[in-house]
Amino acid sequence: MLAVLSPGQGSQKPGFLTPWLDLTGTEARLRWWSALAGVDLLHLGTEADAEEIKDTARTQPLLVAAALLAAEHLPMHDVAVAAGHSVGELGAAALAGVLPAEAAIALAGARGREMAAACALEPTGMAAVLGGDEAEVLAAIEAHGLHPANRNGTGQIVAAGAQDRLEKLAAEPPAKARVRVLQVAGAFHTPYMAPAEQALAAVAPGISPADPSRILLSNLDGAAVNNGREMLQRLVRQVTAPVRWDLCMRTLADLGVTGIIELAPAGTLAGLVKRELKETGVPEIVTLNTPDDLPAARDLIARHGAAPSHEPAIQFRVVVAAAAGTFEPAEGLAEGDTVKAGQVVGQVVTRQGAVEVTAHGAGVLTEWLADPQDPVAPGHPLARIGGHLS
């Protein structure tokens, strides 16, 4: 099984789109998307310096455009999973068929402008807390009145909030941890971004999303989202909600992903995956930074992607846990059985009681992804339901 990953803010580098201009149609596409985003993507991706592309209003649409440009040259019909980090979720949503490319670019432009405006309201920032015990790090972040904005896996949690509180955290780091201040405009993915979330919530109803055509993971909880309208709501909410990339990586492992392509500008997410999954088995990874990397990416898809077929396509929906606890399949339900939309397929037993797990659509229970009494976390895949599409 193969996944494509769309990177987020901080992965950009000066001139990183220059090599892509050699491909037919790239320049015209960037000019069109620039009109939609309200920024000059062609200039930003080729001639702008590091300071200019650090601007949130410019960076966000630039990154979404880069991911979509790179993906255009891949056989995406053989890719099973899409995920993105922060603003990269917009690219992933487009690659999964939830949003047209133009809508993703326009929404990224609006998102960048509104988040930049929210950053200007008061001095806030972010700092990476590297190392230390996870529970102690989270407790220290809370004690300083900060927010865990990004949880990027073992040994990396990003704190965000007021500048003076970040300085105190840096001066009093948790045990066996170090704090590195990040060069960003403000406290992304925290309540400080509420004005931006409100602005996007006013725009989003004008978009008509489709249900995803492949497994699409959400930063909110690592869950596989099956409904396009729900994903659009999650994209809006994610402006103030923490990025749970740790849970997305856990879902990649649970799904049995064996190959990963990180889209341009690549490298950051590949590094996180390698560190997080080194004990359970790191998938084969290709970082797609220039057109020279396309042959390796296409080869990876050929070996790890779905085999092309003239038979009716099978759409798989992954049912995931909404809470932490232990999984109990529905009594008498077995692989191969037909299930109806809304049918209870099991429950997650929590300390507060049982939470029912239902099928989002009708189909065949093709595979249990969790065994009875397995401990599960929010977003943990529980079952795969498939059905033929004409």
User: Do 16 and 287 contact (CB within 8 A), yes or no?
Assistant: no
* Residue in 86, 144, 218, 360 annotated catalytic: 86
User: Do 111 and 196 contact (CB within 8 A), yes or no?
Assistant: yes
Among 26-40, 137-151, 370-384, which is the least confidently predicted range? 370-384
Rounded distance, CA 261 to CA 19, Å? 18
Beta bridge pairs of residue 157: 129, 151
Neighbours of 77 (CB within 10 A): 12
Half-sphere exposure (Cβ direction) of 158: Cα atoms closer than 13 Å: 24
Return the sign of the alpha-carbon dihedral for residues 191, 192, 198, 204: negative
Rounded distance, CA 38 to CA 60, Å? 12
Q: In which band, very low, low, confident or very high, does the pLDDT at 387 lie, cut at 50, 70 and 90?
A: low
Domain with CATH 3.30.70.250 in the chain: 121-182
Write down the pLDDT at residue 316.
Answer: 63
Write down the pLDDT at residue 131.
Answer: 95
Q: Smallest Cα–Cα separation from 329: which of 358, 306, 303?
A: 358
Q: Smallest Cα–Cα separation from 96: which of 207, 221, 272, 231?
A: 231
* Residue in 85, 144, 147, 189 annotated catalytic: 189
Rounded distance, CA 169 to CA 166, Å? 5
Q: Which CATH number fits domain 2-118+191-304: 3.40.50.2020, 3.40.366.10, 3.40.50.11740, 3.40.50.10860?
A: 3.40.366.10
Among 69-73, 266-270, 303-307, 384-388, which is the least confidently predicted range? 384-388
The fold adopted by the segment(s) 313-389 is: OB fold (Dihydrolipoamide Acetyltransferase, E2P) (2.40.50)
Tokens 């529905």 correspond to: 330
Write down the pLDDT at residue 307.
Answer: 43
Q: What stretches of 237-359 adopt beta strand conformation (E)? A: 259-262, 284-287, 313-320, 325-329, 338-339, 344-350, 353-358
- Residue 350 or residue 173, greater confidence: 173
- Residue 329 or residue 362, greater confidence: 329
Write down the pLDDT at residue 377.
Answer: 76
Domain with CATH 3.40.366.10 in the chain: 2-118+191-304
329 — phi, psi (to 5°)?
-65, 155
Write down the pLDDT at residue 379.
Answer: 66
Evaluate if residue 365 carries a pLDDT over 70: yes
Sequence-ordered list of residues with C-beta below 8 angstroms from that of 20, at least 6 positions apart, any chain = 26, 45, 66, 69, 70, 264, 290, 291
Rounded distance, CA 169 to CA 148, Å? 12
Q: Which two tokens stand for residue 168?
A: 């105190």
Q: Which CATH number fits domain 121-182: 3.40.120.10, 3.30.70.250, 3.20.80.10, 2.40.128.20?
A: 3.30.70.250
Is 189 marked active-site?
yes
- Residue 291 or residue 366, greater confidence: 291
- Residue 318 or residue 134, greater confidence: 134
Supply the mean pLDDT for the chain: 92
Mean pLDDT of 96-109: 96
Rounded distance, CA 281 to CA 274, Å? 9
Cα 138 versus chain centre, distance: 22
Write down the pLDDT at residue 254.
Answer: 86
